[in-house]
């Protein structure tokens, strides 16, 4: 929801046309990755569909301006007032991958962890091109990427220390003999 609400929040500051809005989003979000312009228009269409913005004037230069609605303003304040909590509790690709890898018999989980660690170190290195004491250089998004990478590295170390080297490397065969219960029937299957 970050693109959707991000664009909407910017519109709460004043009307924008699509391309301009994309620029504002990028500017506030750090230029390291740019929002695809197309996504701006797609998102505006959906915001309009949901009644959060309206198509406003076309100005003297032909720019199509969008205007936030009352419902839109409400959505922005709700977004800012409520914590991002629930969405953040959701599935994490890296975590799921490691969790699954650990349970796979033929797989060297330590090697998978090593690969991820190397990639994270690379990412960290790319994030610190000038390690000067310039505080402004470390913007919000950059620092977030740094903290995230460092956190994931620490977690990978933790997994290696506690789970992989622990006494129980876990017991995860496919449970083949499931006690039958529910639905399947049709004379308990014709096939096989």
Chain residues in the site for DNA (CB under 7 A): 1-4, 17-20, 35-39, 41-43, 45-46, 50, 61-64, 90-91, 93, 178, 180-185, 188
- Considering only 42, 128, 150, 169, the residue that binds a copy of itself (CB under 8 A) is 150
- What sign for the dihedral angle of Cα 98, 100, 101, 105? positive
- Considering only 1, 31, 129, 133, the residue that binds a copy of itself (CB under 8 A) is 1
DSSP class of residue 138?
A: S
When the beta carbons of 6 and 72 are compared against a copy of itself, the nearer one is 6
Question: Which positions from 61 through 120 interact with a copy of itself, judged by CB under 8 A?
Answer: 61-63, 79-85, 87-89, 91-105, 107, 112, 115-116, 118-120
Decide if residue 136 touches a copy of itself (CB under 8 A).
yes
What secondary structure, in 3-state letters, does 34-56 show?
CCCHHHHHHHHHHHHHCCCEEEE
- For 59, the token pair is 């100005």
In the complex, minimum distance from the CB of residue 174 to a copy of itself, in angstroms, rounded to a whole number: 5
Residues 98 and 112 sit within 8 Å (Cβ to Cβ): yes
When the beta carbons of 64 and 110 are compared against DNA, the nearer one is 64
When the beta carbons of 45 and 57 are compared against a copy of itself, the nearer one is 57
> Distance of alpha carbon 80 from its chain centroid, rounded?
18
When the beta carbons of 162 and 188 are compared against DNA, the nearer one is 188
DSSP class of residue 69?
A: -
- Considering only 41, 54, 124, 141, the residue that binds a copy of itself (CB under 8 A) is 141
- Selection from a copy of itself, DNA, none that 189 binds (CB < 5 to 8 A by kind) is a copy of itself
In the complex, minimum distance from the CB of residue 146 to a copy of itself, in angstroms, rounded to a whole number: 9
Residues 105 and 172 sit within 8 Å (Cβ to Cβ): yes
User: Bridge partners of 55?
Assistant: 66
Residues 16 and 66 sit within 8 Å (Cβ to Cβ): yes
When the beta carbons of 46 and 158 are compared against DNA, the nearer one is 46
Residues 87 and 1 sit within 8 Å (Cβ to Cβ): yes
**Cα angle for residues 97, 99, 103 (degrees, 5° grid):** 110
Decide if residue 57 touches a copy of itself (CB under 8 A).
yes
């Amino acid at each position: 929801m970050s693109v959707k609400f991000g664009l909407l929040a910017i519109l709460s500051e004043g009307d924008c046309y699509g391309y301009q809005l994309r620029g504002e989003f990028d500017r506030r979000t750090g230029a390291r990755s740019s929002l695809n312009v197309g996504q701006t228009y797609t998102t505006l269409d959906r915001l309009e569909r949901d009644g959060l913005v309206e198509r406003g004037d076309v100005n003297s230069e032909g720019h199509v301006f969008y205007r936030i609605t009352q419902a839109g303003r409400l959505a922005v304040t709700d977004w800012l007032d409520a914590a991002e909590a629930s969405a953040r509790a959701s599935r994490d690709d890296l975590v799921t991958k490691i969790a699954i890898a650990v349970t796979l018999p033929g797989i060297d989980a330590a090697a998978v962890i090593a690969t991820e660690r190397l990639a994270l170190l690379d990412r960290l290195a790319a994030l610190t091109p000038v390690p000067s004491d310039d505080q402004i250089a470390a913007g919000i998004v950059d620092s977030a990427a740094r903290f995230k990478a460092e956190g994931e590295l620490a977690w990978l170390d933790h997994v290696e220390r506690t789970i992989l080297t622990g006494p129980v490397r876990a017991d995860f065969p496919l449970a083949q003999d499931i006690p039958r219960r529910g639905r399947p029937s049709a004379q308990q299957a014709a096939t096989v």
